[in-house]
Chains A and B, each alone.
Chain A
Amino acid sequence: MGGVFLSLILTLLGLLLVTFIIGRVMPIDPVLKVVGDRATQAQYDAAYQAMGLDRPLIVQFMTYIGDVLQGDFGRSISTGQPVIEDIKRVFPATVELATLGTLIGVLIGVPLGVIAAAHRGGIVDQVARVVALVGYSMPIFWLGLMGLLVFYGILGWVGGPGRQNIIYDGMVPQVTRLLLIDSLIAGDWGAFKDAFSHIILPASLLGYFSLAYISRMTRSFMLEQLSAEYITTARVKGLSERAVIWGHAFRNISIPLVTVIALSFGSLLEGSVLTEIIFSWPGIGQYVTKALLAGDMNAVLGGTIVIGVCFVGLNLLSDLLYRVLDPRAS
C-alpha cells in the first residue's frame, strides 16, 4: 500500500512540474494581465518583481512546492483572491454537475449496454450503437446551445444559464456547497427545484456523453462474459435468461465496470469546460481555462492539483474496490 501512495505523490509532483514548465514557456505574459495595457515600464517592472518572476525557474518552482506544502496556493492574478478560496467556490459546482452527469450516464448506459449485448444485432443493439455514435461525434457546444434554445428558450421547461435563479442566490446556507444538497438540508423546496431546473440540462448533456462511453464498454464486457463457458453451463442447467444475464454475467462485469465509471467521472470533472462556458456554470473547468489564457499560473497549478488528486484518487479507489470485489486480484 505504501508503494501506491509514493507513486501517487510522484505522479502529482510530475504533473505539477510539467504544468509549471508549460506555463512558464507559454507565450503569455502574466504581468500584463496584472498591470494592463497602459502600464509604464516602471510599473511593469515593479509587478514583475513582486510576482517573483525575476528569480530562476527552479527557485520559483521549489518556492511554490514549499508554499503548497504549507497549504498556501498563492493568489490568483485574474481574480485577485487566494487560489484556495477560488477553488473552494468553483470545485463543488463542477463536482455537482459531474456527479449528476455520471449518475445519468450510469443509470441509462449500463442497462442499455447489458440489453444491447443480450440482444446482439437486434433492434436495441442498433439503437444503442447509433446513440453512442451520435454521443461521440456531436460537438458538445452545439448540442448545448440547441438544448438551451429548445428546453429553456422555447419550451421553458428548465432554468437558463447559471446554477440558480438570481432570487435564490445566497439564500441557502452553504454546508456542502453542493446546491442540491444544501437546499435539501435547508429544507428549501423552492431553492431545490430551482437548482434542479438549472442543473438538469447541462447534467443530461454530460450524462449523454458518459452514457455513450459506458454503454459501449458495458456491452463489450457483457459479450465477453456471455461467450464464457460458465454461462453455457448455467443455461444448460436451465436457468432463465434473465438470471443468466443479471445474476451471473453482470455480477462478473461489475468489477471492470467500476473502473470505467470512475474514469468517466474523472473525465467529466476536467472535461466539462465547454459545457461550463455555454451554461455559464461557475466550475473549475471554466476557472482553469480562463486562468490559462491569462497566464495566471497559481490558479492553473491549483486547479491542476485538484484535478490531479481527483484522478489519482479515483484510480486508487477503483483499484481498492477491485481488491474488495475480486479476491483473486490481491
Chain B
Amino acid sequence: MNKMLNARAILLASALAIAPAAYAETPADTLVVAATIDDIISLDPAQSFEFSGNDVNNNTYDRLVDFDPLDLDKGFQPSLAESWEVSEDGMSITFTMREGVTFHSGNPVRAEDAAWSLQRAVKLNKTPAFILTQFGFTPDNVEEKIVADGNTLTLNLDKPYAQSFVLNCLTANVASVIDKELVMQNVEGEDLGNTWLSTNDAGSGPYVLAAWRANEVVQLTAFEEYFKGAPAMKRVIVKNVQESSAQRLQLEAGDIDVARNLSPTDAEAIASGEGVSIEDQPRGRILYMGLNQKNELLSNPAVIEAMKYLVDYDGIANSFLKGQFVPHQSFLPKGYLGALDEMPWSYDVEKAKQILADAGVEGGTVTTAVRDLREYTDVAQALQASMAEAGLTLEIQQMTGAQVLDAYRAREVPIFLGEWGPDYADPNTNAATFAFNPDNSDEANATGLLAWRNAYEVPAAMNEATVAATQEQDSDARATMYQDIQRQYQEEAPIIPLFQRIEPTGLRDGVENFQSGGSVTSVIYRGVTKGE
C-alpha cells in the first residue's frame, strides 16, 4: 500500500511541476508510448506470457541473468547473480547473488527469494512453466533441485545441459525474482500469491508498477534505488491505442513519444515526416506455412517441394508486407545462436509445375484457415494466385485468432499460415517445437508442438539431434548443430518458414535508446533518454 502511495506521489509531483507549461508535449522526464496492450491478462511473472505483459514484467522485475539494453548481441549478462559456476559433471550450476540489492518494498533480494521464485513458477505450472520444467524440475522435486544456501543458489539439473541453454532460459520472464516476504502477505488459499501478483508488482526492476487499467493504460515510475542506477525516464506511460492511424496522429502531434503498432502506410508517412522517425527492429516472430501431413495431397513430397517455390518471397515483402516482414527461410530468427541466413528457395512457378508434373500430381484442392489479420489474408491470396498457376486450388477460410488456434491444435487445418514467436532467448525454443515430435499419434496430444499440429513425423535422427544440441557445452559447436538441423529441415520438412517479422517503431526526435527487445527479449525502458 505504501508503495502505491509513493508511486502516486511521484506521479502527482511530476505532473504538477509540468502541468501549466506542457499541453501538446510530453514532460521531459516521462516516456509516453502508444501500443495495443489489450493482451495483458496477468502481470504475475509465473503466468504472464503475452507480449504486453512481458513488456511490463521485463521492466519491473530482475532475473539472475539479463540482457544489456544497449547491446543485446552480447547475450545473457550477470544481473542479480554476480557470477556462476558449473559443476564438473555439468549437472549443477551455482550462482552467487549480488549483495545490497533491494526490492521495491525495501526488502533485500536474497538467494532464498530467487530459489522460491523459481520453485513457485514450477509449482504453479502456468503456461510458461515449461521453460523451467524442461530441466527436470517438477512440482514434487523442485524444492530439492533448486536450493538456496546463504548467498548462493544451486540448480540441480537432470542432464548436463549446455550452460548457454540454461542461462538463456533464465533470462525469460518466468524466471523473474519475486519478493517472497511481500507476496506471502498476500496469498489467497493455495494460489501462492497468483491473484495478487496479477495486478501488483513485487520486483526489484528499474521500474515500479504504479497502475494498470486493463485495455487502458500501464503506468510505471522509476525505482530510484535501482542497483544499476535510476533510469532517466521517471515515468513510463503506455496507453492503449488500437488504431495505427490514431497512433500516428498522436505521435505527429507530440502527445506521445513512441508509437509501436504502425501499419506500413503510417510507418512510411512517419519516415518522411518532420520531428519524427521510424526505427525498424527485427522481432523473433517467424511467419510460416504448415502443411498438414494428414492431408493426402499435402503429404506428397513433391507437393511439399513445389509449395516452397510458389511463394513470392520478395514480391510479398516488397509490396503489401513492406516494412512488416523480410524473407527468412529457416526456423531460427536472426539474432539467435545458430540462426541460418541461407535462402534456398525463390519464387519459381515453372519449377513448381515441373516438380508436380514429374510426380504425376494433377491438380487438387486444399483449404487454408487464416486469422482475419490483413497480413495473413494478403499472403494467403498471393499464394492462392500462384498455386492456381500450378494447377492447385486454394480455398481461404477466414476466422478469428481463437478459432484458428482451436482448429490448428486439433490438427484440423490443412494449410496453416501464421506466426510463431520464440518463448525464450535460446535456439532450443524453436528447434524443440518445429523440429521435435517424438510421438506423432493423435493420442500423444502434443498440442504445444508445431510439428505435431501439422502431423509431421519428425525423423528420429532429427529428434535426437535437437536433444543433443541442448547438451553441447561448446557454443560454436552448438551453433553448428542447429544450422545442420535447419538445413535438413529446409530439405524435407512440410513446415516452411517464409518471413521474419520487423517492427517499425515511430519515435519523436530526441528519444534515444528505445529498445523494443529485438528478436530475443521484450522492451527495455531503462536506457531511454529524451533530449530537448
Which residues from chain A sit less than 8 Å from chain B, CB to CB? 27-29, 32-41, 43-44, 46, 76-81, 86, 89, 145, 148-149, 152-153, 156, 160-162, 165-171, 190, 277-280, 282, 286-287, 290, 293-295
Q: List 13 A-B contacts (CB under 8 A).
A: A27-B403, A32-B402, A35-B126, A36-B50, A41-B445, A78-B38, A79-B214, A145-B243, A165-B23, A169-B217, A279-B246, A280-B242, A287-B215
B211 contacts across to A, CB distance below 8 A: 170
- Asked if B15 CB lies within 8 Å of chain A CBs, one says yes
Tell me if B477 is interfacial: C-beta within 8 Å of chain A.
no
Give CA–CA (A22, B8) in the complex, Å: 42
Cβ of B447 within 8 Å of any chain A Cβ, yes or no, is yes
| A36 engages B402 (CB within 8 Å) | no
Known contacts A38-B130, A78-B41, A156-B24; is-contact A32 B406 (Cβ 8 Å): yes
B262 to chain A, nearest CB (A): 15
A170 to B20 CA separation, bound complex (whole angstroms): 16
Q: Which of A39, A86, A190 contacts B214 (CB 8 A)?
A: A86
Asked whether A38 lies within 8 Å of B252 as measured between CB atoms, the reply is no
Q: Is B12 an interface residue (CB 8 A)?
A: yes
Q: CA separation between A293 and B448, bound complex, in Å?
A: 22
Instruction: Among A38, A43, A79, A171, point to the contact of B215 (Cβ < 8 A).
Output: A79
Residue B339 at the chain A interface, CB threshold 8 Å: no
Known: A145-B245, A153-B252, A160-B246. A282 touches B24 (CB 8 A): no
For the complex of A and B, the 10 pairs showing the least CB-CB separation, nearest first, are A79-B214, A282-B216, A153-B249, A28-B402, A41-B445, A39-B127, A161-B246, A80-B198, A29-B406, A36-B127
Identify the closest chain A residue to B53 (Cβ).
A80
- CA–CA, A40 and B409, complex, Å: 10
Taking a contact as CB atoms under 8 Å apart, the answer to whether B239 and A280 are in contact is: yes
Chain A residue numbers with a CB within 8 Å of B405 are 29, 32, 37
User: Which chain A residues border B473 with CB–CB below 8 Å?
Assistant: none
B402 & A293 in contact (Cβ 8 Å cutoff): yes
A162: nearest chain-B partner, CB-CB: B239
Cα A34 to Cα B372 with chains together (Å): 20
Q: Does B79 contact A (CB under 8 A)?
A: no
Q: Is the CB of A149 within 8 A of B447?
A: no
- Flag if A148 contacts B199 (CB, 8 Å): no
* Interface assignment of B373: CB less than 8 Å from any CB of chain A: no
A-B contact count (CB 8 A): 141
| B contact residues around A27 at 8 Å (CB) | 399, 403, 406
**Which A residues are in CB contact (< 8 Å) with B125?**
43, 46
Residues of chain A within 8 A (CB-CB) of B214 are: 76, 78-81, 86
* A294 and B402 contacting across the interface, CB-CB below 8 Å: yes
Cα(A230)–Cα(B140), bound, Å:
89
With A28-B402, A29-B402 in contact, do A43 and B41 touch (Cβ < 8 Å)? no
A277 touching B242 in the complex, CB below 8 Å, given contacts A36-B50, A41-B445, A169-B217:
yes
Out of B26, B32, B127, name the residue touching A38 (CB < 8 Å): B127
Report yes or no: B42 in contact with A80, Cβ–Cβ below 8 A: yes
Cα–Cα, bound, A170→B213 (Å): 11
In the complex the two chains form, what is the Cα distance from A290 to B38 in whole Å?
A: 8
Instruction: Name the contact of A278 in the complex, choosing from B8, B27, B130, B246 (C-beta under 8 A).
Output: B246
B241, CB-defined interface residue at 8 Å: yes
CA gap between A280 and B35 in the complex, in Å: 11
* B41 CB contacts on chain A under 8 angstroms: 33-34, 77-80
B187 contacts the other chain (Cβ, under 8 Å)? no
Whole-angstrom distance between the Cβ of B207 and the nearest chain A Cβ: 16
Q: Does B128 contact A (CB under 8 A)?
A: yes
Q: Quick check: B255 and A165 within 8 Å, CB to CB?
A: yes
Interface string of B1-43 (1 = CB under 8 A from A): 0000000100110010011101110110010100000101110
Are B22 and A280 within 8 A (Cβ)? Answer: no
List residues of chain B with CB within 8 A of the CB of A294: 402
Residue of chain A at shortest CB distance from B11? A170
- Contact across chains for A39 and B243 when beta carbons are under 8 A apart: no
Q: How far is the CA of A89 from the CA of B199 in the complex (A)?
A: 15
Give the distance to chain A from B210, nearest Cβ to Cβ, in Å: 9
**B240, CB-defined interface residue at 8 Å:** yes
- Report whether A161 and B12 are in contact in the complex, using a CB–CB cutoff of 8 Å: no
Hey, which bits of chain B sit against chain A, CB under 8 A?
A: 8, 11-12, 15, 18-20, 22-24, 26-27, 30, 32, 38, 40-42, 49-50, 125-130, 198-199, 211, 213-217, 219, 237, 239-243, 245-246, 249-250, 252-253, 255, 399-400, 402-403, 405-406, 409, 423, 445-448
Q: Is B213's CB under 8 angstroms from A89's CB?
A: yes
- By a CB distance below 8 angstroms, the chain A residues around B240 are 280, 282
Determine the chain A residues whose CB is within 8 A of the CB of B15 once the complex forms.
167-168, 171
Known: A41-B446, A166-B30, A280-B243. 11 other contacts (CB 8 A): A28-B402, A29-B405, A39-B448, A80-B42, A153-B249, A156-B24, A161-B250, A162-B239, A166-B237, A170-B11, A280-B240
Q: Which chain B positions have C-beta within 8 A of A76?
A: 214
Interface centre among B42, B214, B446 (most CB of A within 10 A): B214
Taking a contact as CB atoms under 8 Å apart, the answer to whether B22 and A167 are in contact is: yes
B137, chain A: closest CB distance, angstroms: 15
Q: CA A279 – CA B125 in complex, angstroms?
A: 39
The answer to whether B215 and A290 touch across the interface, beta carbons within 8 angstroms, is yes
Evaluate contact between A277 and B243: CB separation under 8 angstroms: yes
* Contact A161/B445 with A79-B41, A148-B249 known, Cβ cut-off 8 Å: no
In the complex, what residues of A have CB within 8 A of residue B217's CB? 169
Task: List residues of chain B with CB within 8 A of the CB of A293.
Answer: 400, 402
Chain A residues with Cβ below 8 Å from B199 are: 80-81
Instruction: Give every chain A residue within 8 A of B245 (Cβ-Cβ).
Output: 145, 148-149
Q: What residue of chain A has the Cβ atom nearest to residue B198's Cβ?
A: A80
A160-B215 contact given A77-B41, A278-B243, CB 8 Å threshold = no
Task: Determine the distance from Cα of A108 to Cα of B130 in the docked complex, in whole angstroms.
Answer: 61
Q: How far is the CA of A79 from the CA of B18 in the complex (A)?
A: 32
On whether A148 and B246 interact (CB within 8 A), knowing A28-B403, A167-B15, the answer reads yes
Q: Which residues of chain B are near A79, meaning CB under 8 Å?
A: 40-41, 214-215
Q: How far is the CA of A282 from the CA of B212 in the complex (A)?
A: 13
Are the C-beta atoms of A160 and B402 separated by less than 8 Å?
Answer: no
CA distance A293 to B249 in the complex (A): 27
* A98–B117 CA distance with the chains assembled, in angstroms: 47
Given A153-B252, A160-B250, the answer on whether A282 and B219 have CB atoms closer than 8 Å is no
Knowing A78-B41, A166-B32, the reply to whether A36 touches B49 (Cβ < 8 A) is: yes
Which residues on B sit within 8 Å (CB–CB) of A161? 241, 243, 246, 249-250
A36 to B20, CA, bound (A): 45
Residues on A with C-beta less than 8 A from B198 are: 80-81
B250: chain A residues at CB < 8 Å are 160-161
Known: A80-B42, A278-B243, A290-B38. A33 touches B402 (CB 8 A): yes
| Distance between B23 CB and nearest chain A CB, rounded to angstroms | 7
Q: How far is the CA of A86 from the CA of B213 in the complex (A)?
A: 9
Q: Determine the distance from Cα of A29 to Cα of B406 in the docked complex, in whole angstroms.
A: 7
Residues of A within 8 A of B22 (CB): 167
Q: A160-B253, A169-B219 are in contact. Are A43 and B126 (CB under 8 A)?
A: yes
Tell which of A81, A149, A160, A171 touches B12, judged by Cβ atoms closer than 8 Å. Answer: A171
